[in-house]
Chain A
Amino acid sequence: MVQERRFSVNKAPMIRRADSDSNTKSIMLHFMIALIPIIIFGFVKNGLMPFINTVEDKNFAAVIDMLRPLILVIVGCLTSFLAELVYFVLVKKSKTPVNDALNSYSLIPGLLIALIVPLYTPVWVLILGCLFGTVIGKLVFGGFSKNIFNPALIGYLFIQTAFSGVVAAHGGNLNPTEVGTIVSGATPMVAFKADMFGSYDVLVKPYGTILDFFLGNVPGALGETSAVLCLVAFLYLAIKKVIDWKIPVIYVGGVFVLTYILGAFNGHAADLWYPALGIFSGGLMFGAVFMATEPVTAPKSPNGRILYAISLAVLTVLFRYKSNFPEGVASSILVMNMLVFIYDNICAPLRVEPKKWKVALVYLGFALVFLALFAFVLFTTGKFAPVEAAMINNPLFLGVGGLK
């Protein structure tokens, strides 16, 4: 008889994809790789080119200024990494804090914040923003995988609300070349906010052509201007199956369609540049590819993700045309982050719901809410603004006028 041999028993299934490829480490690696061209572009456009072409006195301060984009990126990464390191040492009492901090994707929030804040954000403001994003956006929830909001956007919003004056005083978004050429001193989104249905000469021409918007040769934060590089990153991440391709496609596509409809009602029916400007500006592409898809804070059910992306498109348009923040991407993603739990709770059971009419009813409900929100934007903006005035004055509707 053959000698008996003892084996260790693991849980079924005995083969795991995580052991060969496509594990959490490779996902993070692909995510970082996808950001590299965008970082390089930001450095070349905002640091290197102005240094070569515009800056005349090439002294030490100018060199530091040239390296500014890279400094922002490195400081951002380091800050959020160190914050998590301290968290793992002090709170979690981890024996391998460096490893744990790396495994919890700690570099990414800081990196993303550095790529979306204005170029001349002081380093100390960036450090505060990264700390706020990592601690309040992530660690207070219990660390990676438990956070509700996108940590990077929490940090970004913090800088936007608490330090926008400081940032503007330090030079805001314009790099040395742009300071010389752009007369109004405003970024495209600010120009858009000033005249939402303005002509080509107002909205696009001061910055070049619509191709400049596509390539990223316009003023704006390091990462958000180049639509083409976001597109390349999107293709890479989608092919590597790191992100769900449906979210960016539906989100960006939705904003395009809704912006076109709004434009069409306000004299831009024949202008495709108008919705194109809508999707190439305001960090929409960057937000759609790198933030709306962030797995922890996006829905887990596929049908939930589709509704989530449509909601993002509607909310972004709503915020762009109706709120004080011109870009609308950050705020709509944060609002939707809050609702992800509800979306999953509604959508996941629908996939196995045997009663088809119930499924249809829920989707119809979502469609009506989307329509109502968009109809509100449409009928209170631009040409239809008198409707809004009438609504405010109508004692039955809003009652504001009635109170007066």
Chain B
Amino acid sequence: MPLGMTKATHISEHKGHKELTKHKGILEYLNPKYVYFPANRPDLDYEICVKVGDEVKIGDVLTISKAYFPVITHSSVSGKVTAVDKKVWHPSGKKISAIEIENNFKEEVTYLKEQPLTKEGIIETIRLAGIVGMGGAGFPTHVKYTHPKYQTDTLIVNAVECEPYLTCDCVSIKHYAKELIQGIKYAMIANDAKKAVIAVKVCHQDVIAILEELLKDEENISLHLLTDVYPAGWEKYIVEKVQGKTYKSLPCETGAVVSNAGTLIAINDAVSKRLPLTKRVITVSGDGVKNPQNVLVKVGTLASEIIDKTGGYVDDLGAANLIAGGPMTGNGQFFDSFMVEKTTTGILVFKEIAGKEEACLGCGKCVDNCPVKLSPILIKLAYDDKDKEKMVKLHADMCMECGLCSYICPSRIELTEAVGKAKKVVRGK
């Protein structure tokens, strides 16, 4: 492995958990009675474009975030705005004020304005459709595709989905493979990319077979197979594997731009069907639900309704954990009545295992396995000592909180949490 490159680890004992949902179809749940959209979040400031009593259609603009990168949110149902400051749980784990819309089940749609099929036109459509990275990070796609300083020639499609349990991308690709290919072509135009590479894990043979069949006549789109490791879906890891070189802060430095497979399907919907991003596929899984399943839902639906729709919890569910997102990086939830966001990849329910933290054995497995080559246990010791100088020396700020150190620790030490805190200390100077 060349110096400076990142690395990843096989999460063997959880490989099988994708089988819970991987081979099932997509359940549709598109008629929730109420949907909710954030009206206020601590990290983002929203401009609310509707008021109580307004009639809205699917695709009407509800909010525009006023952060550095503005993102538009559309209504996912047609109906009436019944509240703009209702307190609802958010996937981040906090209770926030939200816009509530009552569904009238008429499914009326406001389509996006037609744009020319040029670089600028497609990026404008992506902006108007409110498309963000659907792998979980939620970075606005139109900002990602506007990179005036760099020349990009490769579009990398992130179809890796390295989080255990999650299969929403995998199943979406199987169901919407043609839409994906079309979305890739639009994204290539938007980025002036000459070629596209779909990065997919070698263990998803069925996905590979479908894509290979479709890519027969596509000269500019190819597959790149990655081994079954975590975090193989991390942008930096994929870029290094596909491009053979690494970058400092942005993939564009290597001439590549990376988009999630779900994002590209959404781009296709926006460009060819003129539909904004109001639906997504979400994985409901874990040993706490009766029928693990992928569900196509409207953005803003409550998780409790989605779980109920799949068949509900297992009968003898005692103490349990609920996660929005993947098991490694997702957020724990206190209540199942949280709204689904554009970036929510999964709803996972696990029977609680009351594991106890033990004394550090000193095995160094966290250090061995860190994808960015940090030394988690040493950073934790420095953090416990409040030794900021040492945290800086150990580059705690490089942590991307993938969770691998806590996952791998035989003593169940909360390393990810400690390094995350140390990162804040280092960055807060």
Contacts and interface: CB of A to CB of B under 8 A. Distances in A.
Interface residues of B, number: 68
A18 B362 contact: no
Contacts, number: 167
Contact of A300 (B353, B378, B410, B414): B378
A296 B304 contact: no
Nearest to A23: B410
A301 interface: yes
A295 B363 contact: yes
Contacts of B372: 352
B368 A302 contact: yes
B327 A145 contact: no
A327 interface: no
B305 A2 contact: yes
Contact of B327 (A15, A241, A296, A297): A15
Contact of B360 (A145, A241, A299): A145
Contacts of A301: 364, 367, 375, 378
B323 A14 contact: yes
A13 B420 CA distance: 12
Contacts of A21: 13
Interface of A: 1-24, 26-27, 103-104, 143-146, 241, 244, 295-302, 305, 344, 348-349, 351-352, 356
Interface stretch (B39-47, B135-143, B235-243, B329-337): B329-337
A144 B359 contact: yes
Interface string B304-317: 11011000010000
Contacts of A5: 304, 313, 335-336
B33 interface: yes
A351 B375 contact: yes
Given A145-B362, A348-B367, A9 B304 contact: no
B30 interface: no
Given A297-B362, A298-B362, A13 B327 contact: yes
Interface of B: 3, 11, 13-14, 33-34, 93, 164, 302, 304-305, 307-308, 313, 319-323, 327-337, 348, 350, 352-353, 355, 358-365, 367-368, 372-375, 377-378, 393-395, 398, 401, 403-404, 406-412, 414, 416-417
Nearest to A14: B327
A301 B375 CA distance: 7
Contacts of A6: 334-335
Nearest to B390: A345
B364 A11 contact: no
**8 pairs of A and B residues whose beta carbons are closest in the complex:** A13-B403, A9-B332, A145-B359, A300-B364, A348-B375, A7-B322, A295-B362, A352-B395
B395 to A, nearest CB: 4
A364 to B, nearest CB: 16
B355 A348 contact: no
Contacts of A14: 321, 323, 327-328, 330, 332, 348, 350
